[in-house]
Structure 1
């Protein structure tokens, strides 16, 4: 087994372990707290799931860098958690519950995501959606949903595309978001906002959606795993300028690669309108 294959297997194992912990309190009474604003929510389930993911990784790689959404460490462990991906070395990117707003409302579309990176590039990832019963995983040898090989869709006509709107609903500046929506609605057959970024990226990788986009820079725990899934499944991921996406890029635009220029055009038109306003 190569090192990359070993890391891919551990990413899947850790995502499953964290997701199982979160599932135990799904649709139970929760104490909901807020972080940066009243709609940026967190629960004890987020922390407990992260504890499990981190512990699972550290059992095998006890000294490697951890890039995690939540600022908590497993009880009794001295762990250096970071918010940015190191340019060199080996690291793990963890989102214990992606889609916490869905989770607290009892909506099933949420998941646990883990990515193993080496020198800033992913080598193995997994996103587990416990309430959906799906796990999306990729490594150097395969990209799968529930163990079955998957690929992006083959649709070529953008007017038939189902496109995911990812990112954060603006706390102000709703007109700007509406501009993006209008630019996309003029070009695509259907638009979806599902509330779990890694879940949406997984749907693009599996061909259930044809594209997705956001104009803002995503956090690494919200996007790195999903982008790797999409690329391994034959799709395309760029920033809003059409350059190859990297974890510090401006915005994120992903597609099956068949009409990526049209998706970019929609994002660029929407953000141009935003700037003009």
Structure 2
């Protein structure tokens, strides 16, 4: 087994393990806190699921680094005497795991089924494997060195070519003072495409671009690596296009995200620029 294949297998195992922890507590009595604002939620289940993901990975790759959405503390137990090495950005060299234990926590807290556990294996700054597991649906999206699958079936992006038939998602989070930008984005997407979806989980949205359920998404804001890396890798492996609002290939430090099936990509870029700059 190659190193990339090994990492892909471990990413799948870890995402399933963390997703099971979250699924067991779904619609239960949750301990919920807020972070940056009243709607930026975190639960103790996020932390429990993340610990399970990290422990599963460390059993195979004990010396690798981690970039996680939640605090990386392992609490007490056999791992407590040797905490994982945490970083706050994606390094250009070495091995890294990027984890979002519950992507779509707001959906999770409200009892809505669309949320997932996302795991990406990064080597020398680039994804070599990524997984998004949607436990409430039983679907597992996995991108390895050569392709992307859903529950073992190989995927490709939508083959639609007429923008008036496209379903497109405006994605991101705007503070109350910036909500006008979100309104402009919805308007710009609505003017150019056939329909709009807002799912509440960035990784699930990217997975649905990879599997052809959506033709694309537009995000005018910089997003964290745990929100994006897994799904971006999937879209690209499925034959799609991912850029920033300048039309340049997306990287983990880009200030915007535009993902599409590759058809009429310029219309996605134009919609984002209209929202961001009023163009």
Please give the TM-score of this superposition, normalised by the length of structure 1. Answer: 0.97
Q: 2:12 aligns to what?
A: 12
* Residue of structure 1 aligned with 2:112, choices 98, 107, 113: 107
Work out whether residues 168 and 195 of structure 2, in 8 Å CA contact, stay in contact via their aligned partners in 1: yes
Q: 1:3 aligns to what?
A: 3
Work out whether residues 146 and 237 of structure 2, in 8 Å CA contact, stay in contact via their aligned partners in 1: no
* Residue of structure 2 aligned with 1:159, choices 147, 154, 164: 164
Q: 1:71 aligns to what?
A: 71
Q: 1:271 aligns to what?
A: 276
In the alignment, the residues of structure 2 paired with residue 3 and residue 35 of structure 1 have an alpha-carbon distance, to the nearest angstrom, of: 37
RMSD: 1.0
What are the Cα deviations for residues 146-176 of structure 1, in whole angstroms up to 9, with x where unaligned?
Answer: 1000100000111110001211143322212
Please give the TM-score of this superposition, normalised by the length of structure 2. Answer: 0.96
Runs of 5+ consecutive residues of structure 2 not aligned to the other structure: none
Runs of 5+ consecutive residues of structure 1 not aligned to the other structure: none
Work out whether residues 64 and 85 of structure 2, in 8 Å CA contact, stay in contact via their aligned partners in 1: no
In the alignment, the residues of structure 1 paired with residue 249 and residue 208 of structure 2 have an alpha-carbon distance, to the nearest angstrom, of: 20
Please give the secondary structure, in 2, of the residue aligned with 1:173: helix
Q: 1:92 aligns to what?
A: 97
Q: Alpha-carbon deviation of 1:269?
A: 1.3
Work out whether residues 71 and 81 of structure 1, in 8 Å CA contact, stay in contact via their aligned partners in 2: no
In the alignment, the residues of structure 1 paired with residue 4 and residue 34 of structure 2 have an alpha-carbon distance, to the nearest angstrom, of: 37
In the alignment, the residues of structure 1 paired with residue 260 and residue 250 of structure 2 have an alpha-carbon distance, to the nearest angstrom, of: 12
Moved more, 68-77 or 199-208: 68-77
User: What is the total number of aligned residue pairs between the two structures?
Assistant: 274
Q: 2:259 aligns to what?
A: 254
* Residue of structure 2 aligned with 1:148, choices 125, 142, 153: 153
Q: 1:43 aligns to what?
A: 43
Q: Alpha-carbon deviation of 1:106?
A: 0.2
Q: 1:236 aligns to what?
A: 241
Work out whether residues 143 and 232 of structure 1, in 8 Å CA contact, stay in contact via their aligned partners in 2: yes
Work out whether residues 170 and 177 of structure 1, in 8 Å CA contact, stay in contact via their aligned partners in 2: no
